[in-house]
Amino acid sequence: MFWLTCLLVATFGFVHLEELFAQISPTQRQVIYSRDSFLALLLNHIYLVSIAAIISICVGVISAIFVTRSYGKEFLPLVSQVASMGQTFPPIAVLALSVPLLGFGTLPTILALTLYGLLPIVRNTLAGIQGVNPAVLESAKGMGMSSIQVLWRVELPLSSTVILSGIRTSITINIATAAIGSTIGASTLGDPVISGLVNGNTAYVIQGAILIGLLALTTDSFLERLQQKLIVKHSLM
Amino acid sequence: MFRLGIDKVMFVLTTASLLSLILLDFVSLQPNRILPGTGHSIVSSVGWGYALLIILPLLFNLFLSFSFRKASSIQRYSFQLLMLILVFLFMPMLLAIFATQHISETQIHARTGLGSAFWVLLFLTSLSLIELKQKLNLSRLKICFLIILITFSWLFFYITAQLDTLAIVREYTARSVQFQQAFRVHLYLVCAAVMSSIVLSTLLVMLMRRHHVFEKAIFPLLNFIQTIPSLALFGLLIAPLGYLAANSEWLQSINVGGIGWAPAMIALIAYSLLPMVRNTYVALNEVDASVIDAAKGMGMSPLEVFLQVRLPLAMPIILEGIRITTIQAIGLTAVAALIGAGGLGNFIFQGLGQAAMDMVLLGALPILFMALMADLFFSTLMSLFSHQDKTSRESQ
């Protein structure tokens, strides 16, 4: 909540702090980034990250479930190997390589975010499902649950904390990568930073950087809270 | 017993490779570095004769993914591996042939762009290679040998000047001096950041082991830093450093400023600390207490216990921390190019600015390569340590 308040205050308050920023870069005529409103940039940033997160959560969880079922088992070694190897690729390289494929703009950014965000989710979902005690699975089957019931009522709930921590990693990385996405033409909170760096306007850089940092902290603390709720729920079960 | 089995993984990967070769462009011919090229499929680029060099091994692999008899699966996988190596070896050759057929000596600006089919094929064959590596249980040495073999085939065609028209090679020859310098700067920054964070995190861990109070302060702080996106941290360091530098001649004399290597270095080290401190601390604490007791019982001094028992046993996890840190630093240094730290990221951002995709590749591919090499290096080192563990346990 604290970070959210800070984020909102900064988003709406920067416009009124002209004098303060004028001291930071006294040589610049304009010290408040004005090509887009901070709110628009913030919303677009959140929009990009959420779209990418939704796609990668769906695809990631489903594919991890697929390779742990009997019909997809053959793909398990490959998928788990790729999910761990893929994380050696720096996000910035993935972002850069998506431009030749899709051109500039929002779409390649979403693609890169989705692809990169998939990896931690797949990896953690696999770890979560594989970590479920086989004895529990046996007793669930013994109780007469169908395989879908076992998945839905035993395997997924038991691995939910691990999956959520994968989602948290994925989103944290994606907020950072989306900021760099403004170099390939997506309009995000990275815009003021990049344009400030290009024009030597430190005030712009600081405004962008503060907002990006606050957004990351807000999201992270929100996800952390969710994680803790889940853990509490589990200990009650 | 007669049973028609099918290796689903290889079947899917090979079918997808073949489809991509049929449906997508293999290479494109660009008149210069900015204009988009005209695409050629693999058949129209080199003719059926040469195209079969790649298509036939793939078809053979497709055939091999069905098992008609109870043939030895090891044999089958080895054959598939052989076919994959052939595909890898023929790829640069086809590019060279395309260049000789389509680009004459006089067209000094014309270049061969790699088409989507080429990338998809490269990606899928690499996946197949990973799959076969696991099935055949190939040792790391054999994998290294394979990588060297494939690299040599590319190098051979490069040195004999048959790949000169390749877009990324043209881009490289145009700025080879800058490239080498950027590569060096990138490497230096990463090495310096990793080295100094090893020293710093050792100090922090020592402090935390002595006084457990610090644990509560250090981990939240490092976690906090790790959460802040790189672009934001780089940006936030500009103003204070710029201010300090403006007021200190000494800082100016060692080239510290709001932009440049200094903020990059600070941010890199700050990011590196969390994985390194966390892994080192956890690894050292998790060493089995009974082992430590046994060592003490043997009459070892506390220092000996630490150096000969605790540290070696914790080493694999510590190295894992250094591995994560190094890979992370390689990527972050690329972003640091935005604040004027230099390095390979320069090519990426300049290339993006000029819409010159080959230049972007010239920056991004070496970064990928560097990260993969670092990964290979540290995982080899880690396996050495855990191997040593096993043999010492067996000999006991």
- pLDDT one-digit tens code per residue, B319-371: 999 999 999 999 999 999 988 888 899 999 998 888 888 888 899 999 999 99
Query: Could you tell me the CATH superfamily of domain A2-10+36-236?
Result: MetI-like (1.10.3720.10)
d(CA B34, CA B41): 21
**In this predicted structure, what is the pLDDT of residue A12?**
83
Interface test with B, best of A31, A48, A92 (most B CBs within 10 A): A92
Helix axes A156-180, B230-246, angle to 10 degrees: 40
Give the rounded percent of residues in chain A with a pLDDT score beyond 70: 99
Instruction: Single out the residue of A92, A42, A32 nearest to residue B365, CA to CA.
Output: A92
d(CA B30, CA B167): 8
Q: Based on the domain organization, do B149 and B206 belong to the same domain?
A: no
Q: CB-based contacts of A54: which residues, under 8 Å, 6+ apart?
A: none
CB-nearest to A100 from B9, B345, B357 is B357
Q: Based on the domain organization, do B151 and B224 belong to the same domain?
A: no
pLDDT band at B243 (very low <50, low <70, confident <90, very high): confident
| Residues B375, A91: C-beta atoms closer than 8 Å | no
Chain segment A181-237, per-residue pLDDT in tens? 998 888 899 999 998 888 888 888 889 999 999 999 999 999 999 989 888 887 766
**Residue of chain A whose alpha carbon sits nearest to that of B260:** A197
Tell me if chain A has a CB within 8 Å of the CB of B395. no
Tell me if chain A has a CB within 8 Å of the CB of B74. no
Chain segment B67-105, per-residue pLDDT in tens? 766 556 788 888 889 999 989 888 888 888 888 888 776
What are the angstrom distances between the C-alpha of B56 and each of A230, B14, B17?
Answer: 53, 11, 12
pLDDT over threshold 50, residue B396: no
Interface test with A, best of B120, B124, B143, B227 (most A CBs within 10 A): B227
CB-nearest to B231 from A24, A96, A179 is A179
pLDDT over threshold 60, residue B390: no
Q: Which residues of A touch B339 (CB under 8 A)?
A: 197
Chain segment B360-386, per-residue pLDDT in tens? 889 999 999 999 899 989 988 888 877
**In this predicted structure, what is the pLDDT of residue B162?**
76
Q: Which residues of A touch B368 (CB under 8 A)?
A: 89-90, 93
Q: Based on the domain organization, do B273 and B373 belong to the same domain?
A: yes
More confident residue, B258 or A107: A107
pLDDT over threshold 70, residue B110: yes
d(CA B17, CA A235): 48
The amino acid occupying position B97 is I
| Residues B228, A210: C-beta atoms closer than 8 Å | no
The amino acid occupying position A27 is T
Average pLDDT, chain A: 88
**In this predicted structure, what is the pLDDT of residue B323?**
93
Please say which residue of B168, B202, B228 terminates a domain.
Answer: B168
**In this predicted structure, what is the pLDDT of residue A234?**
75
**In this predicted structure, what is the pLDDT of residue B49?**
83
Q: Which residues of B touch A184 (CB under 8 A)?
A: 352
- The alpha-carbon gap from B115 to the nearest alpha carbon of chain A, in Å, equals 9
Instruction: Single out the residue of B109, B95, B117 nearest to residue B39, CA to CA.
Output: B117
pLDDT band at A47 (very low <50, low <70, confident <90, very high): very high
What does the pLDDT average to over A151-165? 90
Average pLDDT, chain B: 85
What does the pLDDT average to over B119-139? 87
Size of interface A-B (CB pairs under 8 A): 136
Counted domains in chain B: 2
Q: Based on the domain organization, do B21 and B140 belong to the same domain?
A: yes
**In this predicted structure, what is the pLDDT of residue B344?**
93
Instruction: Single out the residue of B321, B319, B329 nearest to residue B267, CA to CA.
Output: B329
**In this predicted structure, what is the pLDDT of residue B395?**
46
Q: Which residues of B touch A21 (CB under 8 A)?
A: none
pLDDT band at B4 (very low <50, low <70, confident <90, very high): low
pLDDT over threshold 90, residue B21: no
Name residue B38's beta-bridge partners.
B29
Give the rounded percent of residues in chain B with a pLDDT score beyond 90: 24
More confident residue, B161 or B23: B23
**Residue of chain A whose alpha carbon sits nearest to that of B228:** A213
User: Judging by beta carbons within 10 Å of its beta carbon (0-12, 13-18, 19+), is residue B225 exposed, middle or buried?
Assistant: middle
Q: Based on the domain organization, do B125 and B204 belong to the same domain?
A: no
- The alpha-carbon gap from B120 to the nearest alpha carbon of chain A, in Å, equals 11
Q: Based on the domain organization, do B164 and B182 belong to the same domain?
A: no
Q: Which residues of B touch A93 (CB under 8 A)?
A: 331, 334, 348, 364, 367-368, 371
The alpha carbon torsion through B221, B222, B228, B229 (nearest 10 deg) reads 170
- Domain range enclosing B110: 5-168
d(CA B184, CA B217): 37
The amino acid occupying position A161 is T
**In this predicted structure, what is the pLDDT of residue B306?**
87
Q: Based on the domain organization, do B186 and B307 belong to the same domain?
A: yes
d(CA A129, CA A155): 6
d(CA B252, CA B242): 10
pLDDT band at B213 (very low <50, low <70, confident <90, very high): confident
| Residues A90, B334: C-beta atoms closer than 8 Å | yes
**In this predicted structure, what is the pLDDT of residue B155?**
87
Which residue blocks in B137-256 are alpha helix, DSSP H? Answer: 140-159, 167-174, 176-210, 213-227, 230-246, 249-253
| Residues A175, B229: C-beta atoms closer than 8 Å | yes
CATH of the domain at B308: 1.10.3720.10
Instruction: Single out the residue of A188, A168, A177 nearest to residue A113, CA to CA.
Output: A177
Please say which residue of B112, B134, B168 terminates a domain.
Answer: B168
pLDDT over threshold 50, residue A120: yes
d(CA B132, CA B240): 53
Q: Based on the domain organization, do B266 and B366 belong to the same domain?
A: yes
Q: Which residues of B touch A206 (CB under 8 A)?
A: 235-236, 238-239
Please say which residue of B150, B168, B186 terminates a domain.
Answer: B168
